[in-house]
Chains A and B, each alone.
Chain A
Amino acid sequence: DTEVTQTPKHLVMGMTNKKSLKCEQHMGHRAMYWYKQKAKKPPELMFVYSYEKLSINESVPSRFSPECPNSSLLNLHLHALQPEDSALYLCASSQRPGSSSGANVLTFGAGSRLTVL
């Protein structure tokens, strides 16, 4: 079982809907990440939270809104998405934000597969 839990596993939404993706980890990791992965492509970084503060926003459109309520939870709020936003959204966490140590490995969840109609 993965130690990073993502819900829901699948989500279908219309372009006018508001929905949220949730991610939870209980490993005591202090960095959490959202990645977007289109079919047959590598993951692309969207956001990084370090100690519950947004550290990196990779110029993601505002229709994606991240939130980190506490050190264990990470949400991605979705509003007015486009069909091209359909993708696998992966959450990850790592132990020490900004550490270059090899021990600072990203642990990924199983992803939330989003379809926008």
Chain B
Amino acid sequence: AQKITQTQPGMFVQEKEAVTLDCTYDTSDQSYGLFWYKQPSSGEMIFLIYQGSYDEQNATEGRYSLNFQKARKSANLVISASQLGDSAMYFCAMRENSGGSNYKLTFGKGTLLTVNP
């Protein structure tokens, strides 16, 4: 079974609108971390936001916020006021913190976001 599921292969949004990218995860660990990365066509993976499993508040970083619903095992990324430069592939990733696996990030398949002018 996939540990990270991103069900939207592609998303379109109008400039200045908000968009939500979906991510669900599967783990039996109590302690884990969830990450979102952005990958423009240039290839670099850019860290956007982190949410720890014990964090009670949803993470926010500028225009990015993470809608963390632990019971539903979802960690959706919300981008507010989209900009043309937000067009990129977005990956959700999880780090499980037990059994020596806490080096490893497991990535979802990604969502390609296109921002239209």
Which A residues form the contact surface with B (CB < 8 A)?
2, 31, 33, 40-43, 45, 48, 50, 55-56, 88, 90, 92, 97-100, 102, 105-111, 113
Write out the residue numbers on chain B whose beta carbons fall within 8 Å of the beta carbon of A55.
103
A-B contact count (CB 8 A): 60
A43 proximity list for chain B (CB < 8 A): 45, 91, 107
**Chain B, interface size: which category?**
20 to 34
Q: Which of B37, B97, B103, B108 contacts A31 (CB 8 A)?
A: B103
Residues of B within 8 A of A (CB): 31, 33, 35, 37, 42-47, 50-52, 55, 91, 95, 97, 100, 102-105, 107-110
| Complex contacts, A2 vs chain B, CB 8 Å | 44
Chain A residues whose CB sits within 8 angstroms of the CB of B42 once the complex forms = 110
Provide the bound-state CA to CA distance between A15 and B116, in Å: 42
Tell me if B50 and A105 are in contact (CB < 8 A): yes
Contact B33–A108 (Cβ < 8 Å): no
Q: How far is the CA of A106 from the CA of B37 in the complex (A)?
A: 10
Q: A42-B110, A105-B35 are in contact. Are A99 and B102 (CB under 8 A)?
A: yes
